[in-house]
Every structure is written in structure tokens, then in C-alpha cells.
Amino acid sequence: MQKPDWLRVKAPQRERIGAVADLLLDLKLNTVCQEASCPNIGECFAGGTATFLIMGPGCTRACPYCDIDFDKSVRELDPTEPERLGEATLRLGLRHVVITSVNRDDLPDGGASQFVACIEQIRRLSPDTTIELLVPDFCGDVNALAAVMEGAPDVLNHNIETVPRLYKRARPQAIYERSLNLLQQVRQGWPSCYSKSGLMVGLGESDTEVLEVLKDLRRHDVDIVTIGQYLSPGPKHLAVDRFVSPEQFDSYRSIGEEQLGFLQVVSTPLTRSSYHAG
């Protein structure tokens, strides 16, 4: 299926991308921008921003839409990773940093302690930088979520990803209701933290199903939502079912903000979870 014109992105500014990439390589850090083949990598790297991917690069789940490598082996956490992430935040001069992770179902706490250690290092070196976490579902472990929230992130993001009908095909190891419950626990237990979620369209869902997901998210006290076009990473991944028009994306936004009452809905074909974060 040929991409429409509205999915074309500007050519990246190679010098700025190279400078950010060199710094990340020097500090041995991964970004979801690179690992997940994000279409906005040129714009974000050129602007000196990145979403850090911790505890990876391999993921213990193999969602067929995702370009991150699958690795179900038991691996120790790198105790130097939080310090290196803090150093990168300082050297890049980030005002807002996004930290996400692969799923680490091999760890007793799902990696919650590593998220907290990263927050502590960023706050030590860059106390004015706001912090957004994009977390996995921690297999429903409320204690792991509580440990992360005690680190006091400014935004807690957990992606719902798609409509419930497609979970078995697209997210076979996830549970729709479990993700909704995690998001509601954040808003109810830590009201000063913004709750955020995101979903992709183009996997085979209908517009009616997208609106039902938005209603579910609002009922579970989510503040901010991102909606973007699914782009298949390759022939071994799920194929694109449809390309949603920019007008329909704007309709999602207006319904979400004006009718459902979200604080913000960022909805464009190239929107990703941490695109224009902060």
C-alpha cells in the first residue's frame, strides 16, 4: 500500500542528527527514536531532543507491529545506565525528557527500580527539567507502579496502542482492561501527575472503535492522548490496513477535546507518543 503525500517528512538535518547520535553512542544509550524507526527522528534529533529507551534494547514481548528486537533472556540491569542518562540530559540541555523502556517481564518489579534511579539522576544534574515516563504495564503489579510513582514524574504515559478487538492479534501478551486500570490508578493515587496514553490507527480498527477507546480513556481519568498513523516497519510485521486522512485525525482531536473533555489530544498522521512532548 503506497503512502499518501501527507506522510512525507522533511529530510533530516544530518549535522544535528549526527551530533545527538554521537553523544548517545558515546554514552552508550539507546533511544526509541532509533530502535522503533520513528518517522519524526529527523525533526526531533534536529531539535536536540530524544526519548531515551532504558533496560533494552531487547524486549521480552514480541508485538507484531513493533520494530524493537525480541529478547526473552534473563538480563541484569546496568547500574550505570541512570547516571549516563542523567549526563545526556545535562549535555543536551533538555527542558523536558521522556524515558521509556522495553518490557522486562523477566524482572521481579518489571524494571520499576531502574525508572526511579533514572529520575533521581536527572533531578540531581538537571533539577529544572520536567520528566515524562512512558511505562509498560508491569504485568498489573500495583506495587511496581507505586514504586515508579514515588519518584514523582511530571507525566506518566502508558499506551493503550489499539482497540480491544485487535489486542489478540496486535498485543497478545497485553490486556486492554489492565492498561486502563493502570492509567486510572495513576490519576487517582497521584493527582498532581498528568496521565497520558496513545494509540495507533491503521491496524484494522474502525473510527467508531477509536472513539470508544477515547471514551474508555476519559472514563479512566486520562488527561492527554496522542493518536498517530501506524506504519509497518517491514514485511514481517503487521500490514497497514488503511491510511487515515488528516481530516479524520482532526476530527478525533476535536471530539476528544471538545466533547469528551481531554486536557489535550495530539492527533496527526505523524504523531507518536512523545512527539512534541512537554
Do residues 125 and 161 lie in contact, with contact meaning Cβ atoms separated by under 8 Å?
A: no
> What is the per-residue pLDDT across 41-63, written as a single tens digit (0 to 9) for each?
666 665 556 688 999 778 888 88
Residue 172: CB atoms within 10 Å: 11
Q: Alpha-carbon distance 66 to 21, whole Å?
A: 22
> What is the per-residue pLDDT across 202-232, written as a single tens digit (0 to 9) for each?
999 999 999 999 999 999 999 999 999 999 8
pLDDT at 277: 52
Give the chain's mean pLDDT: 89
pLDDT higher than threshold 70 for residue 155: yes
pLDDT higher than threshold 60 for residue 278: no
Q: 29 CB contacts (<8 Å, ≥6 apart)?
A: 52, 81, 84, 85, 88
Do residues 167 and 204 lie in contact, with contact meaning Cβ atoms separated by under 8 Å?
A: no
pLDDT higher than threshold 90 for residue 254: yes
Q: Alpha-carbon distance 205 to 192, whole Å?
A: 33
* 93-102, 125-134, 245-254: range with lowest mean pLDDT: 93-102
Q: Residue 26 — very low, low, confident or very high, per pLDDT cuts 50/70/90?
A: confident
Length of the chain: 278
- DSSP type of residue 59: B
Residue with cell 497485553: 174
- Closest Cα to residue 113, out of 77, 88, 141? 77
Domains of the chain: 5-195 (3.20.20.70)
- Closest Cα to residue 278, out of 132, 164, 117? 132
Q: Which three cell numbers stand for residue 154?
A: 511530571
Phi, psi angle pair for 8, to nearest 5°: -75, 140
> What is the per-residue pLDDT across 54-89, written as a single tens digit (0 to 9) for each?
997 788 888 888 878 888 788 899 999 999 999 999
Q: Which residues pair with 54 in a beta bridge?
A: 101
Q: Which three cell numbers stand for residue 214?
A: 477515547
Q: How many CA atoms lie within 13 A of 7 on its CB side?
A: 18
